[in-house]
Amino acid sequence: EAGVVQSPRYKIIEKKQPVAFWCNPISGHNTLYWYRQNLGQGPELLIRYENEEAVDDSQLPKDRFSAERLKGVDSTLKIQPAELGDSAVYLCASSREQGVSNSPLHFGNGTRLTVT
Amino acid sequence: GNSVTQMEGPVTLSEEAFLTINCTYTATGYPSLFWYVQYPGEGLQLLLKATKADDKGSNKGFEATYRKETTSFHLEKGSVQVSDSAVYFCALSGIQGAQKLVFGQGTRLTINP
């Protein structure tokens, strides 16, 4: 099966500019996740979707971050305006089974964001 | 809160050495435990998992046993190869029904020929 596809792979922007990331999950995977990975750290969840519904966005900084998953397939994550501290790798993941806590996540290669 | 603590890296070993990467967790309830691996230039991928106490997950020669009494899930391999060089992440999920993974900080492993 094709994997989780993310774009762009790299993005460099100046602070206060907007930026958007795109993710296409594995076909048939209902659950989609956005994680942020700071340098030298493990990924941290930003938001989780079940189909088109955001079921956990408690760690999404809603003043500047937004996400959508129209039609319950691909998703975009947006930052507006970006700050220096947003520099990180943004990871998208998907999983097949809803409501099953040990269902493995499949990760994309991530988008590395650098804010200057 | 729920957390995962991993052995500090980086770890450097010679080929065919024995590997242990320690992982301990703090959680209420009975989480599922995972090891994910990130090879250079690639995305995170699941290496192995265990869903209940005393389960042993294994894959590609790696093993980890879910130890409830010590809240640990140490990763081991008897004889490492250069191709095992990667960053390894311990993670848990399933706390109070939540599906989200909580990751440790990662351990960078380098194997020298």
pLDDT digits (tens, 9 = 90+) for B47-95: 999 988 999 999 999 999 999 999 999 999 999 999 999 999 999 987 6
d(CA A20, CA A65): 10
Q: Which of B2, B44, B90, B93 to mutate to test the interface with A (most CBs of A within 10 A)?
A: B44
d(CA B105, CA A5): 24
- Which residues of B fall within a CB distance of 8 Å from A105? 44, 46, 101
Of B46, B94, B105, the CB nearest to A41: B105
CA distance A101 to chain B (A): 5
Q: Of B98, B104, B43, whose CA–CA distance to A92 is shortest?
A: B43
CA distance B73 to chain A (A): 15
Local confidence band at B43 (pLDDT 50, 70, 90 cut-offs): confident
Percent of chain A at pLDDT exceeding 70? 94
d(CA A27, CA A113): 26
Local confidence band at A40 (pLDDT 50, 70, 90 cut-offs): confident
Report the DSSP pairing between strands A44-50 and A106-107: unpaired
Cβ separation A91–B44 shorter than 8 A: yes
